Structure 1
C-alpha cells in the first residue's frame, strides 16, 4: 500500500493593522507565515510615500512584494520548508531571514494586511484553502495598533498617532478592496470556524 503524501494548502487571512489577525493565526496552532515580512526594502524603486508624513506608506500594496510572497507559499506547500525574510519596519528593510518548517501540517495560515492581493494567484496554483478578511471597528483597531506600535517602537510616537488616525479613516476602503479581490468578511469566530473547516478537509492523495 502506497503511503499518502501531504497536500498542503493555505488559508489567507487579511485585515487592517490591529484587527487581531496575527493573534487569531497563532491561536489556530497551525504553521503561520507573516506576509508583512515580504515588504520591499525602503530603497526599492517606486516605494510609495505618505504625502503628509513623508514616510513609506505601508498600507499601499506597491510597498509589498506579492509575487515573492506567493512563490514562497507555493514552495512551502510543495516542500514543507521555505526561507522567509525577517522584516523590520523601524529600519524599513529586511534584517535577515528565518526558515519555516511546517512538518506534517496540511494547512498553513498566511496572515497580513495584503493577503487578499494574492487570492487569485494562490487559487491558480491550487494551494488556496480559504481567503478571509477580519472586519472590526476601525477605532478599536486604532487603539490596538497604537498600543502595539508604541510598544515595538516602530516609529516616533507622534508619527504613529497621526498615521493611525489616517488609517482608521481609510480602513473601510481597505476592507472593501480585500473583498473585491476574493476574501470574505468574518469576525473572530468566523476565522476560527473557517480554519477548523480547512483542517478537517481531506488532505491526502495517493
Structure 2
C-alpha cells in the first residue's frame, strides 16, 4: 500500500498550457495533465516554482504548490482588504471566508498579518474608541457593543475604554445633544424625553446623560436670558 502511495506521489503531471487570468493579471491559470480542473496560482508562486509550459511535476509537489499558494493568496487578499482602513481579526476572517478560503489558510494569513504588524486587535480597539467618540459622537456603551460585534475580546475592549478621557466623552455628548436639540420642538418635558432617548441610543451611560441634560438646561436658560 505504501509503495502504491509512493508511486502515486512520484507520478509526473506535465503542464500543457499556461494563461494569464483575464480578471487578475497577477494570477496564472495552469492546465496540467491528468488533472481535470485548471490550477490557479499567484505570479509569485508561478515564479518560485518555475511553472512554465512543459514543466513536469509530481503529485506531491502539486499538492504542496496548491497548499502554499492558498495560504499566500489568503494573505495577499487580506493585505488588499486592509488597504482601505484598519480591520479586526474577525473582520478579516469573515472577509476571507466570503471569498471561499478554508480555515487553515485563513488562520495562517491572520498569524502572518499579526506577526508582520498589520493586525493588532488591541491597537484597533484603542483607535476605534477615539474615532467613534470624537468623530461620530458615540458613547462607551455603544462603542463596546460595536467592538464586540467586530470580534474584539472583552479584555481588549475594557483596556481601550480605560483610555477614553471622561471629559472628551462628556464634550462629545454635549455636542451631539446641542445638535439634536436644534431639530426638536414641543413642550419642554417632551423635548427632554426625546433628548435623553437620543443620548441613550448613542450609547451614553445614564450618569453621563444626567450631566449632559444639566448642561443643556443651563445653555437653554442662558439663550433665553440673552
Structure that is richer in helix per residue: 2
TM-score tier after normalising by the smaller chain length: under 0.3
From the CA coordinates, give the structure whose radius of gyration is larger: 2
**What is the TM-score normalised by the length of structure 1?**
0.24
Structure that is richer in strand per residue: 1
